[in-house]
Structure 1
Amino acid sequence: MRTVAVIDVGTSSIRMAIAEIQPEGTIRRLETLSQAVHLGKDAFTASEISRTTIEDCVSVLRSYRRKLEEYGITRPEDIRVVATSAVREALNRITFIDRVYVATGLFVETLDEAEVHRITYRGVQPLLRAQPALFKADSMIVEVGGGSTELLTVEQGNVSYTHAFRLGSLRLQQTLSAYRVPRTKARQVIEGEIHSQLEPFTELLKTHTGANMVAMGSDVRFAAEEVLKQSVSDDRLVELTVEDLAEFTDYVFSRTEEQLVNEFHLTFPEAETVGPALLVNLRLANILGANRLFVCNMNLRDGLLRDMSEGGSWTEDFQKQIVRATWELASRYHVDEDHARNVADLCRQLFRQLRKEHELDDRFETLLYVAAALHESGGYINTSSMHKHSMYLIMNSTLFGLTADDLLLVGLVARYHRRAMPKTTHQPYASMDRVRRVIVSKMAAILRIAIALDAARNQRIRQIECTRVRNRIVISVPSVEDLSIEQIALRRNQTFFESIFGLEVLLRSQMKSTVTERTML
């Protein structure tokens, strides 16, 4: 059994959840804490976190640290501190992170949008699976936060689209304050802001008309509990009709912040942002043509705890989601799919059979597969300097589950699938730390070998067997007698591999006799 903690540094509060993870992976929540801060008000108006707010955050995190010590939670691997849009957008985020570390010893990890989507998916997926009819149907998962609105479209359990809108309840409320909008026109102005943010995506969203809408977030959960007079449980989604949501939203806007605080026992920051958040949910439901919402009690901290219970590893299902998104992107850039799939499959075999040589974690197998699938995507722009165009497209694309750092690594591996090897004059390769530079080189070297094995582009080599014989890697191919084309290509492509691993690569057909094999070696 393991006791862990996750801390979410949000736009308006810092929340901590402490839980026990049982040996079989079951999570039992022990305690939750929440303290209000003004990160969002600083970051969204001045683009910087003020010194006063930084010290307020330090004070909260110090108190959380003392609480962790009471529970005996001291190991870094048992504590995860994350920050989202407010810290991510602040120009002085590094100063903030460094100050927190110096004062508390806690490292704040700034999550990008892709990581938030990954954690959200992992948290919501069990709830969808618990209702088979809902899991098999198309669903749109929506979370309206203080700084942004996260959206994931799931088709029969597979993520097909993700996006983050700069459309948060705190941002909307600050628009009212910045322009001193009178209370009588507040709703009209907020609806105009929501429309301007969603309008470019309206046609795309309408293609999912009829999809179930799964709503996350404390504001919509508050509305559901007040309307239905029941709490939203951790293990099941609760239905709320759009008509009831609209009526409750009207009521919220008919009351002042003071009245909302007194009637519903909200804090003033919550009373200020609940109306804008409900309007965003309502607008999205109307675009989808939904007549009901499925409200869940899942939040970012639940997803983080689930991530820790699984060791932070990429599950098989999650990797399938990444691969699925990769082939959709490859199709968009008109890659030669037969060649790309075979190269990607060969990369996977090489990665697994050369594990002792490259010593990379399993997650890099998936990243190598993605790079192999997209290594010729640059041809969509121009076949000249295709490898550089591939890097550009990958780094500037959105792939579910992959962070900006992941995309940078994948883009560089694709960039070095041919031509020159990495140099210190190449950006952004030169700006990476040594560990990541070595990882790029190892993966790119393996990719070049896989490309050589499909040099004829007819996919006749699909299965290989790698054996190390002294300072050589012998790649044996069954059922293919003439390998002259691939051997010529391998001579061109193996230099990178040899310079990284210090091993020569030989290609042999298993159709030849064992005696001949030994003689040649």
Structure 2
Amino acid sequence: MEYPHRKSIIDLGSNSVRMNIYGIGEADDYIQMDQAKEKVRLSEGMGRELTIKSAPLERLFATLELFSQLNRVYEVEESYALATAAVRSAVNQTEVLERIEHRTGFSFQVLSGEEEAELDYLGVVNTMAIDDGLLVDLGGGSTEIILVQDRQMKEAISLPLGSVNLSENYDTDRAARLRIRQELQKLPWLDQARGYDIIGLGGSIRTLAKINRAARRWPLFSIHNYAMAAEDVAEVLALIRRLPEKRLARTPGISASRADILKRGLAPFIELFRLIEPSRLRISTSGLREGFFYTRYHTKRGLPPVSNDVLHDALVNFERRYRLNRVHCAYVTRLSLELFDHLGDDFDPEDRLLLEVAARVHDIGMHVDYYSHHLHGFYLILQSNLSGLSDEQLIKVAFLVGYHRQKPNLFDLRPFVQIVGSDTHKRMKQLSLFLSLAEQLDRSESQKIQSIDYDGRVMTFRLKDGFEASLEEQAAQLSLKRLQEKYRVKLVFL
């Protein structure tokens, strides 16, 4: 069985209950196999007496039965059930937990606010390349705020104020925002976050990005690491304030089931946005469940809880997951970078990094089929959510992979060119020559070339002792000709 070790993680919030199912392979590669989500509004009607009512509990029981069926379908070995703000604050918590276990068999661990914040932090820093930032998880019953500096969690707090209970307990948006403002004034360490990016988690904050993406007709599927400039955030917030609830429910990017809590529910984010004055909002779809997964995955393998290099770790997982020929890919990467270092004066350091990434995964399309695998690779990269890269960087890597054989002409490239710009698109086409030639120079996949030397006029491909490269020279004819014409170099195989 592929990915024989299967785990599920359930996150019971105030508004929604979600479950992720992960598979771990024999090579320690991992994949999210499925996700389930239902809005049960567990905190509905809790009011100031903080009592979970029977109606939302019945909705929860029905949902957990569906989750149990999914666990059986996927042959899940271990299932972890975590409860957050609604259960944490409920005066009838013990009774609720007993009823849940009796009816469904799930035994929930109730997280403290501090534990929830730490798992949010671990979910973000293990899937995003951030050094400094303010993490804001706006849930249904609480808001977690985490200050990150040098990739470390420096401060964290969980406020018992979220999108659902703010909407239910305050009559006006102004009253909700005033309460939030009072709470934020008690946190002097927020001054350290001024000007930082806000990294937003939770459905209400994701809605801001969904509205913006819909307006821009954003062509990428994943919303993780999507970035919005501060002025775009302000524009979307103004739109939400202006529209009545019925119009909001019909606005592209807004879920009809969230429209009733969106305005008041965004109060914590609005106040933090006003206070911090960030340059950008970045979206993370990784939070508590992902943080819990990485905690267990890293601990069992003796790894530090926080990845030192998110992109490197993501690439290693890709290589394992897609069963890439790692020797061949590493060799093609080395040759690509040698060519870049000799001839890449027209490019910048980021281009070198993206060339390295593309070279390491250039054969990812072979997972679908050999024929047109550059096209399959182009698509897979765009939909890959490769941690550590921005959307713009991901598109550039996809161009490099797509062009490493020939133009990915089955796709309409215009939406992607529009994002990175036509000049950048042309530069990626030019840069792909190094990758194309490097792959052809290992046509036999026997790593015949020892090194590439260049004296400013002659480029010498030095072969290992006892090898000849007729197959490689034949395969690389067109690329070698392009290299000669563009860089005016003489090419020699020795």
- Calculate the TM-score normalised by the size of structure 1: 0.53
Alignment match, 1:257: 245
Kindly, what percent of the aligned residue pairs are identical?
21
Alignment match, 2:201: 216
Indicate if the aligned counterparts of 1:144 and 1:216 stay in contact, CA closer than 8 A.
yes
Alignment match, 1:189: 175
With over 3 angstroms needed to count, the CA separation of the structure-2 counterparts of 1:193 and 1:234, relative to structure 1, is: same
Indicate if the aligned counterparts of 2:7 and 2:23 stay in contact, CA closer than 8 A.
yes
3-state SS in 1 of match to 2:36: strand
Q: Distance in 2 between the 1:311 and 1:151 partners?
A: 25
Post-superposition shift, 1:79? 0.4
3-state SS in 2 of match to 1:161: strand
With over 3 angstroms needed to count, the CA separation of the structure-2 counterparts of 1:25 and 1:215, relative to structure 1, is: farther
1:192-212, Cα deviation, whole Å (9 max, x unpaired)? 2221222222x4312332333
Indicate if the aligned counterparts of 1:127 and 1:235 stay in contact, CA closer than 8 A.
no
Q: Distance in 2 between the 1:38 and 1:29 partners?
A: 25
1:452-489, Cα deviation, whole Å (9 max, x unpaired)? xxxxxxxxxxxxxxxxxxxxxxxxxxxxxxxxxxxxxx
Partner residue of 1:36 out of 13, 32, 39: 39
Amino acid at match of 1:80: Y
Alignment match, 2:444: none
Structure 2 residue 191 is the aligned partner of structure 1 residue 206: yes
Indicate if the aligned counterparts of 1:221 and 1:232 stay in contact, CA closer than 8 A.
no
Please give the residue correspondences for 1:205-284 in structure 2 after superposition, counting only pairs within 5 Å.
205-228=190-213, 229=216, 230=218, 237-264=225-252, 266-284=254-272
Structure 2 residue 152 is the aligned partner of structure 1 residue 166: no
Alignment match, 1:513: none
Structure 2 residue 79 is the aligned partner of structure 1 residue 85: no
With over 3 angstroms needed to count, the CA separation of the structure-2 counterparts of 1:120 and 1:103, relative to structure 1, is: same
Alignment match, 2:30: 27
1:169-200, Cα deviation, whole Å (9 max, x unpaired)? 11211123xxxx4xxxx332332222122222
Alignment match, 1:98: 98
3-state SS in 2 of match to 1:28: strand
Post-superposition shift, 1:272? 2.0
Amino acid at match of 1:59: A
With over 3 angstroms needed to count, the CA separation of the structure-2 counterparts of 1:187 and 1:104, relative to structure 1, is: closer
Amino acid at match of 2:290: D
With over 3 angstroms needed to count, the CA separation of the structure-2 counterparts of 1:194 and 1:109, relative to structure 1, is: same
3-state SS in 2 of match to 1:4: strand
Q: Distance in 1 between the 2:75 and 2:65 partners?
A: 15
Post-superposition shift, 1:265? 6.9
Post-superposition shift, 1:38? 2.7
3-state SS in 2 of match to 1:32: strand
Q: Distance in 2 between the 1:45 and 1:20 partners?
A: 41
With over 3 angstroms needed to count, the CA separation of the structure-2 counterparts of 1:296 and 1:267, relative to structure 1, is: closer
3-state SS in 2 of match to 1:263: coil
- After the TM superposition, which parts of structure 1 deviate over 6 Å for at least 4 consecutive aligned residues? none
With over 3 angstroms needed to count, the CA separation of the structure-2 counterparts of 1:111 and 1:233, relative to structure 1, is: farther
Post-superposition shift, 1:257? 2.4
Please give the residue correspondences for 1:360-375 in structure 2 after superposition, counting only pairs within 5 Å.
none
Structure 2 residue 53 is the aligned partner of structure 1 residue 67: no
1:288-342, Cα deviation, whole Å (9 max, x unpaired)? 232322222213222233234335788535699xxxxxxxxxxxxxxxxxxxxxx
Indicate if the aligned counterparts of 1:242 and 1:291 stay in contact, CA closer than 8 A.
yes
Post-superposition shift, 1:89? 0.7
3-state SS in 1 of match to 2:186: helix
Q: Distance in 1 between the 2:122 and 2:229 partners?
A: 26
Post-superposition shift, 1:253? 2.1
Indicate if the aligned counterparts of 1:12 and 1:269 stay in contact, CA closer than 8 A.
no
Q: Distance in 1 between the 2:159 and 2:111 partners?
A: 15
Alignment match, 2:135: 141
Please give the residue correspondences for 1:329-408 in structure 2 after superposition, counting only pairs within 5 Å.
none
Alignment match, 1:371: none
Amino acid at match of 1:120: D
Q: Distance in 1 between the 2:220 and 2:204 partners?
A: 12
Q: Distance in 1 between the 2:300 and 2:92 partners?
A: 28
Alignment match, 2:148: 154
With over 3 angstroms needed to count, the CA separation of the structure-2 counterparts of 1:317 and 1:297, relative to structure 1, is: closer
Q: Distance in 1 between the 2:47 and 2:288 partners?
A: 21
Name the count of aligned residue pairs: 302
Q: Distance in 1 between the 2:125 and 2:307 partners?
A: 14
Indicate if the aligned counterparts of 1:141 and 1:153 stay in contact, CA closer than 8 A.
yes
Greater helix share, structure number: 1
Partner residue of 1:299 out of 287, 290, 295: 287
Indicate if the aligned counterparts of 2:126 and 2:306 stay in contact, CA closer than 8 A.
no
Post-superposition shift, 1:271? 0.9
Amino acid at match of 1:158: Q
Q: Distance in 2 between the 1:261 and 1:312 partners?
A: 45
With over 3 angstroms needed to count, the CA separation of the structure-2 counterparts of 1:90 and 1:302, relative to structure 1, is: same
Q: Distance in 2 between the 1:307 and 1:232 partners?
A: 29
Alignment match, 1:458: none
Partner residue of 2:8 out of 5, 8, 14: 5
3-state SS in 2 of match to 1:249: helix
Amino acid at match of 1:293: L
Q: Distance in 2 between the 1:199 and 1:239 partners?
A: 27
Post-superposition shift, 1:110? 0.7
With over 3 angstroms needed to count, the CA separation of the structure-2 counterparts of 1:242 and 1:31, relative to structure 1, is: same
Indicate if the aligned counterparts of 2:155 and 2:189 stay in contact, CA closer than 8 A.
no
Indicate if the aligned counterparts of 2:167 and 2:265 stay in contact, CA closer than 8 A.
no
Please give the residue correspondences for 1:426-465 in structure 2 after superposition, counting only pairs within 5 Å.
none
User: Structure 1: 5+ residue runs without aligned partners?
Assistant: 321-521
3-state SS in 1 of match to 2:185: helix
Alignment match, 1:122: 122
Partner residue of 1:53 out of 53, 56, 59: 56
- Calculate the TM-score normalised by the size of structure 2: 0.56
Amino acid at match of 2:160: R
